[in-house]
Structure formats: structure tokens, C-alpha cells
Chains A and B, each alone.
Chain A
Amino acid sequence: MDASPELLPFWEELSPEAQAALRQLLKQEPELAQTLALWEAVQAHLHQAFEKAVPDRRLWVLYALARSGHQAALSPEEQALLEAARPTLEQLLAVYPALNEVVRDIEAACVDFEAAWESQLKKATPVRDRLPRVSRRWAGYQWGLRLAVGGVVLALVGVLWWQHRTAWVTQSVDTGKVQTLTLPDGSSVRLVGPAALHYAERFDRRVQLEGQALLQVQPAAVPFVVETAEAQITVRGTRFGVRALKDTTEVILAQGRLTVHSRKSPALPVELAPGQGVRVAADGQVSPPARVSVPEMLQWTGLHVFDGATMAEIGRYLATFYRVPVIVDAALADEPVVGTFAQTQPLEEILSALAATLGAHLEQQEGSYRLVPAR
């Protein structure tokens, strides 16, 4: 396949064959490789400039809403945030003209949302309107009856609700112990002692955590909420670790997506992507999400947690953990691996399992391990 240098800026849109041809070209022409690296460096520089000046992109939304006459859509807290950020935003708009297009695009998105709202919510006739009319007199009796019955039912529900809300289950483990629990919705929690988990007997996918736990949450329509002294973590279905330590809560996301907010500032949730971690301090400060090594950050679970890390990364991690050289053949280096192993498992057993998963072969030589493609 022909490789045209003109296609280099469109690298990600190319077919694997075209990418391979360009890789070959870059090897032959280092000056082209340097141009591409400069091109990427320029974009990274701009991206970092945007992120550094406005780490929270919601500010652009607030700015666009206010500018397009939707000021009333902002809460008083959001208006205060916007006013504090306004000088920075306006300075950026002057330095980077393209950000004006971004603001205009958000304004256009508001129009699209309103159209979606109109088309999706106005087309359905409420069920109430489709019911046959009854005489006003009979309707009066009906409402009287409903109110009387409703009062009894509400009182009953209230009593039951109170009983359920007040009936709590507590599971706790002592220092140095580990216990895995299955919750009523099928989610699992690995409590690493000292730790305690509290939830309502009538399980509503809300738990309170003291100490450390690795959670594997079953997907469902109702979000799953974990509360600690400092933070609230909301997820639908995912795997993540929480360490509620003294005056700080650390959240590491292995899989899926979740939001974390400080209990002191619930209006400012932070969203995590897989491989990111965040800390919430007792004073309400939430650190920006940072990329982390999930297996390293979740070592306290007593598990090796691999959720999409490449085989090369896993090899490096295992080599450091077991202090034994682990060499991964280049052909396997980029293979993503998902799996969990107990830290008590011997290294050879783990590597054999990984080799079987990848269809690879494990070789042991002179005190080291080597993972190579099966012949």
C-alpha cells in the first residue's frame, strides 16, 4: 500500500494497512517522524493550556448558558462559580479564538436539547387524559374514598418505611482480615480490615463504608451509592476501590465510570474514567482526577487487579511485586488483559494463566520468566 506523508495528521482515521505503511515510511524518513511528533506536541501544548486554565469544562457550559439568555438556568452557586471564572474565560477567548466556536457550539446544543425535550415529552398524551370522564358527583365520592384509603395506606407505608429505614445491617472485619460479601443486588464487596459496611435491611443500593473495600457493582437502572465520612461515590455497574482513611477518602476506578463528590460540596461531582483516581479531603477539597497504575493503587486489596492494562504493563508490575524478571515478547506487549489474582498465588501460576488467556507460552530460564507467542 502507498504511504502518503500527507495522511500523517489523519493517522487515527486510517485503516490498519495504511497505518502500517506509514509506520514503515516514518522509519525511513526520521524528519517526517519529527514533524509528526512536533504536530502532536503542539496539540498537547494547546490541550494542556485549555485544561490548566479551565480544569472544569462545565464552566464553559455555564458561560454559554448565561451568554445566550439562559442565566436563570444557573443555580446561585453556579452563578457565583461563573462570576469567579469569568475573567479567565474571557481572557482565554481572546487568546484562543477557537474557543468562541466552542461557546457557540454549546449555545447550539441548548437549542438541540430544547427541541429534543419538545419532541420526546410533548408527543405522549398522559394516561390520565385518556381515561373516560365520570360524573362530577361520583368523582367527588371517588376522591373522598381515595383520600380516606390513601390516608390509611400512607400511614401504613410510613410505619413500614420507618421500620425498614431503621433496620440496618452491619458487616465488619478486623485488622488484617479480608471478607468478601455478596449484597442483595448481586454486587460484591471485598472488605479489607479494619473495615465496616452498613446498609439498610431493605437494600436500596446505598451503603456506608468505613475503611477499605473493593467493590464490583452489578449494573441496574438505580445507581449504586457508597458514602464515606468525606465523599459520596455514585455508580451504575463498575469495579472500584475505596479507602476511607482518617480525614481522607481515596477512590480508584478500575472499570466502568463513576462520579465522586465531597459531602461538603455535592454540587461539584468529579467524574472518573477507568485508570483514574481521586482523593476527597475532610475539608471538602477534591483532587483533580489523575491517571494511576490500578494494580499498584489497589495492592491493599490483597489482589492483583488487571482491568485492561497491557501485558507489558502487567509484566513490569509483576516483576516489581515478586522481584523476579518477567519478559514479555513484543508481539504480546500491547495485548490488553482483564483479570484478578490473589497476591498469595505463586507468580508462575499467574503467568501460566495469563499465557493460557493470550494463547501464549511461558518459558522459565535462569530465574526469570518469559512470555512468548505460542508456536
Chain B
Amino acid sequence: MPDRSEIAPELVARARAGELGAQNQLLTRLEPVMRAFFLKRLGPIPEIDDLVQNTLLRVHTGLADLKDNGRLKAFAMKAALFELQDWYRGRYHSRERLFDPDQPPPAWVHDGTAEQRLDIEQALATLTPHARRIVELRAYGYRYQEIARLLQTTEAAVKMQVKRAFEKMRQLLLLHHGR
């Protein structure tokens, strides 16, 4: 991937050598690139500033590892992509829930061997391939709107699948309890 950056390799070299002025200049040049990237991927969310800052921090921290001053673009792109992945992961953990997933599952839910208990794999097996894909993307950290974009459908269609999947799990539980 040729690097046709407007950021001179000399500036990168000076920043890597620890020159504070060059580091500031480099990060200042990269800031609008990162902002435009995250805005495109995530829309105008309040956390954009944090994402930009964290990505610049990654660039700054990793500059010493950049072997070729002319390859800043690939280096900065990886920093932005890494940050985006960590953002999805963090978002999964920060989701508001009625039940804390870090707590042990209720007694009637089990992911182990007891035959009398409901198996999570059994619950997953009730889902259609399409619904399962949605649930997996949700567990990865995507929102329903983003899942719709990934699956090239509408948010309403995704939510309809989710409602059906939820209802299937409800029926499974009723069956399990012999009701």
C-alpha cells in the first residue's frame, strides 16, 4: 500500500526522535483525519472526542515501533481500527441490563452438563441462522442500527427478528417448565 501522505517522513522521524514540537505537529495533522473517520463510522456521537484522543495516544505511544517513516498512514489506520474494535467491546460491557451477566446464571439456566437444566446451546439452537447472526453481532458489541447496516437490511427488520427470537426463548422456557 503506497503511502502518499501529505505528512513528510522527516516530520515523522523528528517526532519519533522525541522532538516535542514535531510530535505536537504530527498529532495535530492527524486529528482531523481521525475525527472524520470516526464520524463516518459511528455518526456524531458524544464519545467522538474520546475516540480521537485515544487513537492519537495510540499513535504517540507506538511511534517508537514505526520502522519506516514513510508508512505513517498504515500505522495510523491500524491505530484507528484497533480503537474502534475496543470501542465495540467496551460498549458491550457498558450496556445497561436488568440482569448482571457477570453474576452466575439463574439456577434454571446452565451451560454445563446437568440434564435437568436448560442448556444455553439449546436456547441458541431455537434461533434461525439469521436471528443467530444478529444475536452474535449484538454480543460482539454492535447496536441494532449497525447490525442492520452490516446485514444490509433495516433496523425495523432486525428488531422484528429479535422479537421473534425472544418469543422462541420464552416458549422454550415454558416447555422446559412443563407449562
Contacts and interface: CB of A to CB of B under 8 A. Distances in A.
Contacts of B174: 31
A73 B6 contact: no
Interface in B80-115: 80-82, 84-86, 88-90, 92-93, 95-99, 101-102, 105-106, 108-109, 111
Given A31-B173, A105-B150, A223 B60 contact: yes
B40 A112 contact: yes
Contacts of B78: 58, 61, 65, 73
Nearest to B71: A73
A34 B85 CA distance: 31
Given A110-B81, A222-B24, A42 B123 contact: yes
A40 B101 contact: yes
A329 B13 CA distance: 59
Contacts of B167: 6
Given A97-B129, A112-B37, A121-B6, A39 B169 contact: yes
B32 A120 contact: yes
B140 A40 contact: no
A37 B53 CA distance: 36
Given A98-B136, A223-B60, A35 B77 contact: no
A57 B85 contact: yes
Nearest to A43: B139
B20 interface: yes
Given A101-B137, A113-B80, A40 B41 contact: no
Given A34-B106, A60-B85, A11 B96 contact: yes
Interface residues of B, number: 86
Given A12-B96, A45-B111, A223-B60, A112 B41 contact: yes
A114 B3 CA distance: 10
A117 B65 contact: no
Contact of A35 (B120, B129, B173): B173
A276 B151 CA distance: 34
Interface string A1-33: 000011011111000000000010010000111
Interface in A101-119: 101-102, 104-106, 109-110, 112-117, 119
Given A6-B167, A43-B138, 7 more contacts: A41-B99, A47-B92, A73-B77, A110-B81, A121-B6, A236-B57, A266-B64
15 contacts: A12-B96, A58-B78, A73-B74, A97-B129, A98-B134, A99-B140, A109-B81, A110-B77, A113-B76, A116-B36, A117-B73, A117-B76, A120-B36, A124-B6, A266-B64
Interface of A: 5-6, 8-12, 23, 26, 31-47, 50-51, 57-58, 60-61, 64-65, 70, 72-73, 75, 96-99, 101-102, 104-106, 109-110, 112-117, 119-122, 124, 126, 204, 221-223, 234-236, 257, 259, 261, 266-267, 269, 271, 273, 291
